[in-house]
Amino acid sequence: MILIIRGRGIARGVGTGDLVVSPAPISFLAGVAPDTGIIIEKGHPLFGQAIGGKVFAFPYGKGSTVGSYVLYALSRTGHAPAAIINSEAEPIIATGAIMGRIPMIDRIDVPLHRLKNGTRVTVDGDRGELEYNGDLADL
């Protein structure tokens, strides 16, 4: 069953991929390797996981404004997420998503922790929607 979950569009475009859901915020500066898209932040719950081509859902970004440029670098190296979902967008991640042309939404109608890793989803940053290919029981 396909569910449409409403949110707020942040960065334009449409991206599809398997969900990678983080319970913790992340810093893209020193938290994600720009040449591989692998999470390298020590102690992060997703340490060692690749986010390239995935829809990356995490509460919010943290850290330096250089994180915006890391997202841009990820898009240039082909290791950027297909899309980003945040609980609450903040300027560092929003700017990086816009510069890197990574579709992004926030404030969705479902708490992030209810989203199931590996579920195939589509993020529409123009409409502020998440197309979730799952079951109501998943949420």
| Alpha-carbon torsion (3, 55, 72, 77), positive or negative | negative
Q: Which of 64, 68, 75, 87 is catalytic?
A: 64
Structure tokens at 116: 């199931």
Burial of 137 (0-12, 13-18, 19+ CB in 10 A): exposed
* Location of structure tokens 């529409």: 124
Q: Is 64 among the residues known to form the active site?
A: yes
Spatial contact of 93 and 67, defined as CB atoms under 8 Å apart: yes
Give me the helix-helix angle, 66-77 and 91-100, nearest 10°. 30
Spatial contact of 119 and 87, defined as CB atoms under 8 Å apart: no
Antiparallel, parallel or unpaired: β 83-86 and 8-11: unpaired
Catalytic residue annotation: 64
